[in-house]
A = this chain, B = another copy of it.
């Protein structure tokens, strides 16, 4: 073939070679295991849907970003840009049969034609879990527990689950008479950490057209300091003695959440009330969650979510309140890379053991002992070609194998196998029945 096609990728898209995919699969497997352990069940929905279904009445930011086109049948279709809208459409169709409460998780790629940038891709994974069909605070509490167990299972010790409740914020806005300006006020409030108190007040007066006094009262709430109890007491105090019903519910729900997390065994200091977070301005209506890594707070939240009043109002009259959160897989992986997380090994093989190939007529024997190791849960690759051992050991090093199993003609005649610890460069000779236990011992020492 004289003219080759350039094997280029679209901008904003990427390949995952093994060294990147292995930790990603491990993150996804961990999320799957933790979500399942709480009874969240997997669902999947198509990548491609009617544009009308995904974009609703349209006119929002999504319209600009979505990959939308005409298919073979001239249907107006689009690639999903999140997992929430397809879940809403799914729920409108299926929840009548499935019943409530309904707990689901979903994992998969979504597509947005945003300008690609550092850590921002046009194809990226979402990894969501939600309970719908109940307003019970027990489900809100559970979301915090799931996040705690998830990040613990992901190998983190130092992380903080920040919670807030929109009822508290909305209650305060109502009590100071600016509830109708909630969206611009909260948008400004969200910038507190970035631009500081003065600029936030200035922006609130300008954008939301509220007084500096009103803005300052909103900030009292967000600037409350101390431990969780002190913050909640300060928030209560911000109402000047007359906490309205809405805020009262918010306070009660947050207090219940803290108590239940403590009773359920979540470590002290893990769950923190942070009245400054106000994400998802026109979507979340109750508890709000963000999760930050204590050693890398700058990357922002790696698992966020909240409670909403009605998931699927675009498609059905059935009111489906719910609560959930989403693991930011790509952001988390970038953080793990930066933090030199122990899962980011650079290893390019899922198997720990390489069987060195000395004789193409012995493939059956090599694979026989490989299968005995596999049956014991150990991954084993048999090198496919009879090359110089030096080359095969170089391959083992490059890929990141931990143990080599070696048998040439001499070993076969004596019924022995050599087992080599590739890190310590130590060789042991064992009879075949001891092979599995010997390899297991070396991998155990290596913490594999």
Q: Which of B48, B145, B368 contacts A67 (CB 8 A)?
A: B48
Bound-state Cα–Cα, A72 to B354, Å:
47
Q: Does A42 contact B (CB under 8 A)?
A: yes
Q: Which of B104, B260, B367 contacts A364 (CB 8 A)?
A: B260
- Given A42-B22, A348-B98, A350-B36, A139 and B384 touching (CB < 8 A)? yes
Contact B10 A351 (CB under 8 A): no
Q: Which residues of B contact A94 (CB under 8 A)?
A: 15, 17
Q: Which residues of B contact A262 (CB under 8 A)?
A: 364
Bound-state Cα–Cα, A32 to B25, Å:
10
> Which of A129-137, A175-183, A278-286, A301-309 forms contacts with chain B?
A129-137
Contact B131 A7 (CB under 8 A): no
Contact B314 A5 (CB under 8 A): yes
> Which of A211-219, A267-275, A373-381, A402-410 forms contacts with chain B?
A373-381
Contact A14 B364 (CB under 8 A): no
Q: Which residues of B contact A348 (CB under 8 A)?
A: 41, 98
CB distance from A105 to the nearest CB of B (A): 9
Q: Does A44 contact B (CB under 8 A)?
A: yes
Contact A142 B38 (CB under 8 A): no
- Given A48-B111, A263-B368, A351 and B37 touching (CB < 8 A)? yes
Bound-state Cα–Cα, A113 to B92, Å:
26
Q: Does A296 contact B (CB under 8 A)?
A: no
Contact A53 B8 (CB under 8 A): yes
Bound-state Cα–Cα, A42 to B317, Å:
43
Tell me the number of copies of this protein.
Answer: 2
Q: Does A138 contact B (CB under 8 A)?
A: yes
Contact B93 A15 (CB under 8 A): yes
Bound-state Cα–Cα, A44 to B16, Å:
5
Interface residues on A, range: 35 or more
Contact B138 A360 (CB under 8 A): yes
Bound-state Cα–Cα, A136 to B141, Å:
57
The majority secondary structure among interface residues of chain A is mixed
Contact A264 B351 (CB under 8 A): no
Q: Does A415 contact B (CB under 8 A)?
A: no
Q: Which of B25, B312, B364 contacts A263 (CB 8 A)?
A: B364
Q: Does A441 contact B (CB under 8 A)?
A: no
Q: Which of B111, B360, B380, B385 contacts A38 (CB 8 A)?
A: B380
Bound-state Cα–Cα, A101 to B92, Å:
49
Q: Which of B50, B101, B364, B398 contacts A10 (CB 8 A)?
A: B50
Contact B384 A134 (CB under 8 A): yes
- Given A53-B8, A384-B134, A42 and B14 touching (CB < 8 A)? no
Q: Does A265 contact B (CB under 8 A)?
A: yes
CB distance from A175 to the nearest CB of B (A): 27
Q: Does A431 contact B (CB under 8 A)?
A: no
Contact A39 B380 (CB under 8 A): yes
Q: Does A313 contact B (CB under 8 A)?
A: yes
Q: Which residues of B contact A90 (CB under 8 A)?
A: 7, 15, 17
CB distance from A147 to the nearest CB of B (A): 13
Contact B67 A142 (CB under 8 A): no
Q: Can you name 10 A-B pairs with beta carbons within 8 Å?
A: A5-B53, A5-B315, A15-B90, A16-B45, A21-B41, A71-B113, A101-B383, A103-B381, A141-B364, A265-B368
